[in-house]
Amino acid sequence: MPGHVIITGASVGIGAALARSLASAGYSVGLIARRQALLEALASDLTRGGAKAAWAVADVADEASMRAAFESLEAELGPCEVMIANAGVLAFQRPESFDPQVAVNILRVNVEGAITAAAVALPGMLARRRGQLVVISSAAALRGLPGSYAYSASKSAVSSFFRSLAFDLADKGVAVTVVQPGFVATDMTASNTFPMPGTWQASELADVIVARVQRGGGGVLTTPWFMSFALGLSRLIPAFLFDRAARWYFRLGEKS
């Protein structure tokens, strides 16, 4: 029977789409993000549709903030059965204008935020010997890409961290799902000028993730399949050839 799912970065994009898909599937939905007005509006929409939903404002990379939000949502909606670490930021950079603070903030939100989400949810899941951790990584975790130094690094770290964590949780009743999507149409990707083949709508990706959650979760989910195949195959290509092709591809957008 569906239980309580908490989503970080829930106010827009993939997070909001996940909230709607989970609510439609009968789950109670706890929403965490920094923008209160957007959280309130989304929670109101969900409850008007008959779902149970609550929200809490938090900075995902701040443990005290996240713990307070988590406890508030559990008090209102019950034990967290599924934690979806979705919060993330993206910024393209160039060497000529490289800002280390931008890079550090990407790592802070994308990596520390995901780890903190797992940290606050795990004690209860381990005590009940039941639960799921889902992290939204990216196909960018599979290869470094031009202009996305910190983003690619953050997603590689997140995928590796949670895939490693899955080993130690396998016999403790807690499933770990690492989601590595390709291009998804959200506010985050709206300014991309390069080609984005196989772009998914956020609602399409959300439905695929929710289906995995309903089956009990676990494993690595990379979508679309050809993105996983191409990036996996790229590991067999000499680095200098891949780097040359990647630079050409991303510069298509700069020229358009």
The helices-and-strands tally (H runs, E runs) of the chain is: 9, 9
CATH number at residue 222: 3.40.50.720
Domain with 68 in it: 4-255
Run of H or E residues at 94: none
Q: CA 56 to CA 31: how far, in whole Å?
A: 6
Structural domain total, the chain? 1
Residues with catalytic roles: 151
Kindly report, residue by residue over 14-28, the tens digit of the pLDDT: 999 999 999 999 999
Helix ranges, the chain (H): 13-24, 36-48, 63-77, 100-107, 113-128, 149-169, 202-214, 225-234, 239-255
Q: What is the pLDDT of residues 129-174, one digit of tens each?
A: 999 999 999 887 877 776 778 988 999 999 999 999 999 999 999 9
